[in-house]
A and B are shown apart, each in its own frame.
Chain A
Amino acid sequence: MEIFSFLAEHIEMVYIVILSIFVGVELIEKVPAVLHTPLMSGANAIHGVVIVGAIIVMLHIDVNNTLGMILGFLAVILGTLNVVGGFVVTDRMLEMFGKKKKK
């Protein structure tokens, strides 16, 4: 079966997936409801890591492939929006929490 040989070839990745699932579950389970929104927003910024994929595509695509270059350029913009917007919004939310701490 192709799928088994694929998994065997990528066994390290499979381990990463399984362990990451547990880490994700473990990290979130004891979060107070107050932090749900910032946490969702922070997680939202982290999946912006998909921009790494967009950059990789851009790096190995042929420059003369105009459609590809345009799509890649768009993907980089969208990914950056996700990353930068995500982290900045989260920071703004958490800034509010910090302010009242000082009082």
Chain B
Amino acid sequence: MNTLLILSYLIGSVTFVVGLKMLSHPDTARKGNLVAAFGMLVSILATIFLYGHHGEDYSTKLIWIFGGIAVGTIAGWITAKRVEMTKMPELVCLFNGMGGACAALIGLMEYGANLGNTMSLATIVAGMIIGSISFSGSIVAFLKLNGTMNKPIRLPYYNIINSIVMLGLAAMSVWVVMTGQPESMAYALFGVAVIYGLLFVFPIGGADMPVVISLLNSFTGLAAAFGGFLYDNQVMLTGGILVGSAGTILTLAMCKAMNRPLSNVIFGAFGGGASGPAQDIEGSIKDISIYDTAVLCNYANKVTIVPGYGLAVAQAQHIIHELEKTLEANGVEVKYAIHPVAGRMPGHMNVLLAESNVAYEKLVEMDDINPEFPNTDVVIVVGANDVVNPAAKNDPASPIFGMPILDVEQAKHIIVNKRSMNAGYAGIDNHLFYNPKTSMLFGDAKDVLTKLVAELKAM
């Protein structure tokens, strides 16, 4: 291998490590991303110009390669720039699927050329299968996140079916590799792996998609690493393994935030698999008008806003900032209580509120805000549901039992803005709404908040 090429790959590998390191601190995160991107550029250019083995039709190939890069760059750049911040998780998911598909295609192309070399075939097949699962799984996760496929699909005995397909896939791979089957079998394997990816994500509920995406993310990393093994390519290997291990840790961290083991996310059906009868709900629901809400907030000392994904869906993140400024101008102390899994991904809500210029100090994490709720006069819950559901604390039969929640019940008044009485993302009822201290403010978040701000300004 060319010395310059080796050096470029070294630069690539180091920038990935440094980039990831910087990405894990708020101050350096943005630079870290650019550092990794630079390393990627170096690695790609070095591969194109220094790799060698390019035969006689180098110029033709260059045209095709640069053509592909141009198409991918333009499409990727435009999509990434144009997408709304609320759709970010879907997009990450989609790009992950593209990477998986890329790994799968590499496997398909390399298979025929490596017949007769069992170890190479094993590497190729492993990368291809993992890539395919990541690809089809990501597509399903994408569809679930954007609402196209909003109900978990559970075939009868889906756990058994999935396990059989998985074992079948593994057995078939071993047979194909050991006996060196012809190329057509590689395509068959690819097909089965794609089907397994679909089956893998189908039964998992939308609320768990962040965990699934993170998991599939590390799968794609692993697929890239197998490519690294195949080509003795250090940058693919380091990049892939780094993402594989970092992605796994991230997945576990997310599960921890939801207080559910990973196995429960994958094999246990969320919102449906709960055992025992749900507790009966007593009490009734109390409405509140916008005017009364305005009065209540205006004469409060301390107001805490609990934003949820519903806020983002209604595009109300700007108006909520307006509400905060109006209240502060009237001498009310306002804070935001951010649940670790508010939004669709951990940290998603912070990104959304940051977009509308909410000050960083105002976003308080769950553990820090929970002790403050008893001294809080008014809590305004906007578009959040499961993260404030007391069932997580006191109903062992609830599917979210054990998940840490925001203790909004401790506050003096709770105002919940919701579009309707429909259940939350996890599909379960919320006792909070029936609490005597709770008042419901029905309506579209953006609409209601705009009117609320107008009332407050008139006071």
Contact = CB atoms under 8 A, between A and B. Distances in A.
Contact of A37 (B230, B231, B346, B355): B346
Contacts, number: 375
Contacts of A63: 55, 57, 60-61
B253 A36 contact: yes
* Majority secondary structure of chain A interface residues (helix, strand, loop or mixed): helix
Contact of A49 (B40, B229, B350): B40
26 contacts: A13-B237, A17-B237, A29-B249, A36-B346, A37-B88, A43-B243, A44-B95, A49-B12, A49-B239, A50-B240, A52-B44, A53-B227, A53-B228, A58-B61, A58-B65, A59-B54, A60-B55, A77-B72, A78-B72, A81-B95, A84-B73, A84-B77, A86-B92, A87-B37, A97-B354, A101-B360
A93 B249 contact: no
Nearest to B46: A52
B291 interface: no
A16 B241 contact: yes
A84 B80 contact: yes
B106 A75 contact: yes
Contacts of B239: 46-47, 49
Nearest to A68: B109
Interface residues of B, number: 117
A13 B243 CA distance: 16
Contact of B243 (A35, A47, A54, A94): A47
A13 B240 CA distance: 12
Interface string A20-31: 111111011111
Contact of B250 (A28, A92, A94): A28
Nearest to B356: A96
B23 interface: yes
B229 A10 contact: yes
Contact of A55 (B48, B109, B131): B48
Interface in B161-197: none
B233 interface: yes
A42 B23 contact: yes
B129 interface: no
Contact of A88 (B77, B213, B238, B351): B77
Interface string B13-33: 000110111011111011011
B140 interface: no
Contacts of A27: 17, 20-21, 24, 242, 246
A10 B53 CA distance: 21
The 7 closest A-B pairs by CB, nearest first: A80-B72, A24-B245, A76-B68, A85-B76, A84-B76, A49-B239, A88-B80
A12 B131 CA distance: 24
Contacts of A33: 253, 257, 340, 346-347, 365
B252 to A, nearest CB: 10
Interface of A: 2-3, 6, 10, 13, 16-17, 20-25, 27-63, 68-69, 71-101, 103
Contacts of B25: 35
A72 B347 contact: no
A57 B112 CA distance: 12
A73 B347 CA distance: 36
A80 B73 contact: yes
Contacts of A76: 64-65, 68-69, 72, 102
A37 B64 contact: no
Interface string B308-334: 000000000000000000000000000
B64 A38 contact: no
Given A23-B242, A53-B224, A78-B105, A39 B23 contact: yes
Contacts of B16: 46, 49
